[in-house]
Structure 1
Amino acid sequence: MHIDFLRDVFRRSSDKEAVVWLDQTSSYAWLVDAVETWTGFLRDRRLAPGTVVSLEADFSPTAIALLLALVNEGAIIVPLTPSVEAKKPEFRKIAQVEATISISGDDRAQLVNTGVEATHELIAGVRSAGHPGLVLFSSGSTGTSKAAIHDFVPLLEKFKVPRHSLRTLTFLLFDHIGGVNTLLYVLSNAGCVVTVPNRSPDLVCAAIEKHRVQLLPTSPTFINLLLASEAYRHHDLSSLEVVTYGTEVMPASTLERFHRLFPRVRLQQTYGLSEVGILRAQSRSADSLWVKVGGDGFETRIVDGMLQIRARSAMLGYLNAPSPFTADGWLPTGDAVDVDGEYLRIRGRQSEL
């Protein structure tokens, strides 16, 4: 029900490559069948709608199919990748995880009931709506990780508008709002999800060359690593059309050097937060740090030099912290910005300036 629009896309694109994993390809026809198979598995295991399930995996064919099956079955999904291995017990406890699905290195899945009963009022709210949910943890770089809970239905809405079909490398993590956004964007436009076993510059460049990747969503930190390693010199990156970057402030020197080395690649700044999702963004130019953010379902305003966002896809709240929203529904992002007409320049977190 919730992913019917995606299934329609998949069926119309049945012969196209959907996922590349360990250099093996899976088609959209395979993905349709896999989602059905895992839906049957969840029903056989009597996984009720509204069950809080941790999906412990990185990008893989099974992880993608299971995520879609869980959304369709109305589960509240807590994606957890190996990058947070040490924190998994803490995160399961905060999210009141009732069942875990772990996916092994050979892409096999195992479901285990935890015996926990989720009682948080925000979880109860998602259940009463009859909608799937999504719980994402912040990095916790400034303290304890916060657990943002979303109604998954508003997050899906923007992907019903057709956009460009691109072969895309999944650099951002499976349990990061950017990774979830990348996955849904690619699948909703019948693009190809190209996975990598790790995110080193050489492996990323090799995957771009081998699988003719067109879009690389990444971070300024990785772009710096790429330039410093000079891995790009050893691979054919001519297929690459767009590099999007977010998650942190881009140094002007890095932007200038990248643009000089890759003049044909469009460099596009993005902006998003676990609390509100990913906004549509338009850079003033490929070599500019000024960006216009917003899009359907998003509003922005500047209060005392700080960016605030109001979004239809905003989280319902935190499972382990007070609501950060203002009385009229705006999220203070904590990001200081400069303003030039419709364009913003993100200066960074107020605490870091």
Structure 2
Amino acid sequence: MKNNWFINQITQFSDQTALIWKDQNYTYREILDGIFNYLNILNENNVQPGECVAIFGDFSPNNTMLLLALIQNRNIVVPLTPSISSAMNSCLKTACVTRLFKFNNTDAYKMIETSCQKSHPLLDEFRKQNAAGLILFSSGSTGEMKAALHSFPKLLSRYKKKGRKFVSLAFLLLDHIGGINSLFYSLCNGGTIAIGTQRTAEEICQAIEKHKIDLLPTTPTFLKMLMISKAYLKYDLKSLKVITYGTEPMPQSILEALVDIFPDVSFKQTYGLTETGILSTKSENSDSLGLKLSGDMKIIDNILYIRSESMMLGYLNASAPIDSDGWYNTGDKVEILDNGYIRILGRESEIINVAGEKVFPGEIENIICMMDNIRDVTVKGKPNPLTGNIVMAIVDPIEKESDEIIEQKVRNFCEKHLPPFKVPAIVKSSEKRLYSGRFKKIRV
């Protein structure tokens, strides 16, 4: 069996709890039994190594055990979740999927053979390695969803190094590089991970209290929701030791407020992309956005470039911004701080050019987030014949007010904190949520 080091690693934890799902505990022994059971199912259905197999569903025990079995069977795994239901057929086609395991809410599945007959040169080349692969789709928050092909052996190699043992909560799902990281970090260190929790502030706080969660990996968007909900006041969250956040820039005002709410919790910024995998990071301190990245990195014209062992092999539906020396252009604008740490400012593609002045949406969002009646905000550019672009803010107010009053309040507040060219020329209210199913801002 391939990846025996992983099987050997989790075998030593035998009767310890690996997963918690719907208040039921699953031991490492049960996970191992499930892996071998699914290997038999794959064999009975003649699922060959190298086939692209999709798993559709939420984070669940059977979903997880099938994923681990597919890795052992050297398949190319395509995790999909209900958040992309409308684009599922397109994803299956792009990823050249031949089998789909579709899980329902009871954790039962139906296997479907697709009509896909085609392949892709990148997949054909990868299959020569006779190794398990992973296809992840980018969030599409700034454009088209891209399909990134990874080598599982390369992704998993970082977990051979021993880490801390946590009782964690799976906030990010298996279609996200952060969800993959949460699962394998926990399993390889004998941790316990609570899965399948509804991602509302109420449900998350309830799960933290019930299961004594000490690690919560999440996003700035969710943490802002948690603050506004005040659900943290209703539950005993003293077990929490670490909150990690990533996937998008964190507003400084939100981070400072969170540190005040959870003074005994260590806040750590993570960094990783669908394309690069998760990188080891060191935060300057809990209330700072400064961080250091492990591995090879360089900064050219304030753009971050990364070279890592966990780098994707390429896209199936786009050209990859990786040069001949293996450097990946992240597209992230960064600032080098005096102490050598860096601060992520935002995506270069999201910068708004107002009459030659560069405006970072995150800077304006940070200011608007300081207002009392704002649940969420997204800032982006709108073409203008005179200045090239103007700044537009779309806000989700907590208490409904007229568009005219909201616009006046936002503009007046911004005028106190920002130069004129950064003040939103247009302010719109939205009753729709401003984030994706991955709890990340939508900017298109």
Which of the five TM-score ranges fits, normalised by the shorter chain? Answer: over 0.9
The letter of the residue matching 1:138 is S
In the alignment, the residues of structure 1 paired with residue 118 and residue 18 of structure 2 have an alpha-carbon distance, to the nearest angstrom, of 35
In the alignment, the residues of structure 2 paired with residue 66 and residue 253 of structure 1 have an alpha-carbon distance, to the nearest angstrom, of 42
In the alignment, the residues of structure 1 paired with residue 189 and residue 25 of structure 2 have an alpha-carbon distance, to the nearest angstrom, of 17
Q: CA deviation at 1:224?
A: 0.5
User: % of aligned pairs identical?
Assistant: 42
Seen in structure 2, the aligned counterparts of structure 1 residues 2 and 243 have a Cα distance that, compared at 3 Å, is farther
Partner of 1:2: 2
- SS at the partner of 2:173? coil
In the alignment, the residues of structure 2 paired with residue 77 and residue 282 of structure 1 have an alpha-carbon distance, to the nearest angstrom, of 31
In the alignment, the residues of structure 2 paired with residue 3 and residue 29 of structure 1 have an alpha-carbon distance, to the nearest angstrom, of 17
In the alignment, the residues of structure 1 paired with residue 138 and residue 331 of structure 2 have an alpha-carbon distance, to the nearest angstrom, of 14
In the alignment, the residues of structure 2 paired with residue 228 and residue 196 of structure 1 have an alpha-carbon distance, to the nearest angstrom, of 23
Partner of 1:347: 345
Q: Deviations over 1:270-319 (max 9, x none)?
A: 0000001000011011111100112xxx3110000010101111111000
Partner of 1:102: 102
In the alignment, the residues of structure 2 paired with residue 240 and residue 176 of structure 1 have an alpha-carbon distance, to the nearest angstrom, of 23
Matches within 5 A, 1:1-353: 1-294=1-294, 298-340=295-337, 341-352=339-350, 353=360
> Which residues of structure 1 form unaligned runs of 5+?
none
The letter of the residue matching 1:320 is N
- SS at the partner of 1:131? coil
> Which residues of structure 2 form unaligned runs of 5+?
351-359, 361-444
Q: Deviations over 1:160-200 (max 9, x none)?
A: 11111111100012200110111110111111110134100
The letter of the residue matching 1:12 is Q
Which structure's relative contact order is higher, taking Cα pairs within 8 Å and 6+ residues apart? 1
Q: CA deviation at 1:36?
A: 0.6
Q: Deviations over 1:23-68 (max 9, x none)?
A: 1111111111111101111011110000000111211110110000
The letter of the residue matching 1:7 is I
Q: TM-score, normalised by structure 1?
A: 0.97
Deviation above 6 Å: which 4+ runs of structure 1? none
In the alignment, the residues of structure 1 paired with residue 206 and residue 99 of structure 2 have an alpha-carbon distance, to the nearest angstrom, of 37
Q: CA deviation at 1:101?
A: 0.8
The letter of the residue matching 2:41 is F
Q: CA deviation at 1:268?
A: 0.1
- Higher Rg of the two aligned structures: 2
In the alignment, the residues of structure 1 paired with residue 257 and residue 119 of structure 2 have an alpha-carbon distance, to the nearest angstrom, of 51
Seen in structure 2, the aligned counterparts of structure 1 residues 3 and 59 have a Cα distance that, compared at 3 Å, is farther
Decide which moves more: 113-122 or 330-339.
113-122
Q: Deviations over 1:106-129 (max 9, x none)?
A: 111222221323420111122110
- SS at the partner of 2:83? helix
The letter of the residue matching 1:348 is G
